[in-house]
Amino acid sequence: MAKNKLITPFVKWVGGKRQLIDQIKPVLPKDIAKLKYFEPFIGGGAVFFHLQNKHSIINDFNADLVNAYNVVKNNLDDLIESLKKHENTSTYFYKIRELDRDKSFADLSAVEKASRLIYLNKTCFNGLYRVNNSGEFNSPFGNYKNPNIVNEPVLKAVSKFLAEQDITILNGDYAEAVKSADEKSFVYFDPPYHPVSESSNFTGYVQGGWQEADQIRLKEVCDDLTKRNVKFLLSNSSTQFIKDLYKDYTIDIIQANRAINSVADKRGAVDEVLIRNYE
């Protein structure tokens, strides 16, 4: 079946893989189209939307993001109507951003919450979804002239794909999301990256962040999948800690362009790793 080129991420997410697809494709299983696809850290879903596997389970710990996926799937018309009401002004942006500081935020409808997330994602600085330790969105206004707040062609294509194929959308722990995987499955992990330095640590798209213990737990989940003959591919930063942790697996080093660094001249191409348990 020909792939629909309009089925692409509808939000920009930290560490998104859209620019790395051509480097990821060569290491994917040759029979991936026949396998059930799992992506437990879905984020913007660049790999998921590129592959367009008919049978997939996607998951994320970020409840607002998962709500947006469900609304795009089930309430597209209402979402588009809501998105069209937003204004690209600083005053309006901060008014919408501040909504999660109030208890009434819980009373917003699923459509209103999804509309807010997409609006803030399209209009905030660098499209950077970031929350503070209280779980409040804190990226500043981007001041863009014509942000594409309502990308109807993409939203409609994604909605149709999510609704018509066998796609399960989960909001929970990644280990739970892969429990049903078997030898006819493929799992792609794109977790919060291990920091290459203390100043480069960025896990602000979910409250709490990730530590070394979290990376070790993920590796144990990968070990369990291997014992169950489940193929997995994992992306992470090319740190010695990660390379030592996965020394028993196949590790490929690729280069990625990353724009997240407080020091402008430290942005640019950085090494990342693709780790897998298959040939």
Least confident segment among 12-21, 69-78, 138-147, 265-274: 265-274
251: left (phi over 0), alpha (psi -120 to 50) or beta: beta
pLDDT tens, position by position, 11-63: 999 888 999 999 999 999 999 999 999 999 999 999 999 999 999 999 999 99
Query: Taking 90 as the threshold, does the pLDDT of residue 264 lie above it?
Result: no
Query: Which pLDDT score is estimated for 269?
Result: 82
Quick one: pLDDT band at residue 257, thresholds 50, 70, 90? confident
Mean pLDDT of the chain: 92
pLDDT tens, position by position, 63-99: 999 999 999 999 999 999 999 999 999 999 999 999 9
Query: Which pLDDT score is estimated for 262?
Result: 44
Query: Which pLDDT score is estimated for 121?
Result: 96
275 vs 135, which has greater pLDDT? 275
Cα gap 59→63, rounded to integer Å: 10
Domains 18-63+154-205+212-276 and 68-152 share a fold: no
> Which residues 6+ apart lie within 8 Å of 36 measured at CB?
53, 55, 56, 57, 181, 184, 185, 186
**Predicted TM-score (pTM) of this structure:** 0.92
Residue 124 DSSP label: B
Domain 68-152 is classified in which CATH homologous superfamily?
Adenine-specific Methyltransferase, Domain 2 (1.10.1020.10)
Residue extents of the structural domains in the chain:
18-63+154-205+212-276, 68-152
Cα gap 37→44, rounded to integer Å: 16
CATH-assigned architecture of domain 18-63+154-205+212-276: 3-Layer(aba) Sandwich (3.40)
Interval 237-246 mean pLDDT: 97
Query: Which pLDDT score is estimated for 65?
Result: 96
Q: String of b and e for 168-181 (b: at least 16 CB within 10 Å)?
A: ebbbeebeebbeeb
Distances (CA, A) of 190 to 25, 26, 39, 147, 244: 15, 17, 8, 27, 18
- The torsion angle over the Cα atoms of residues 16, 257, 144 and 98, rounded to 10 degrees, is 50
Query: Taking 90 as the threshold, does the pLDDT of residue 160 lie above it?
Result: yes
> Which residues 6+ apart lie within 8 Å of 56 measured at CB?
36, 37, 38, 39, 48, 165, 166, 167, 168
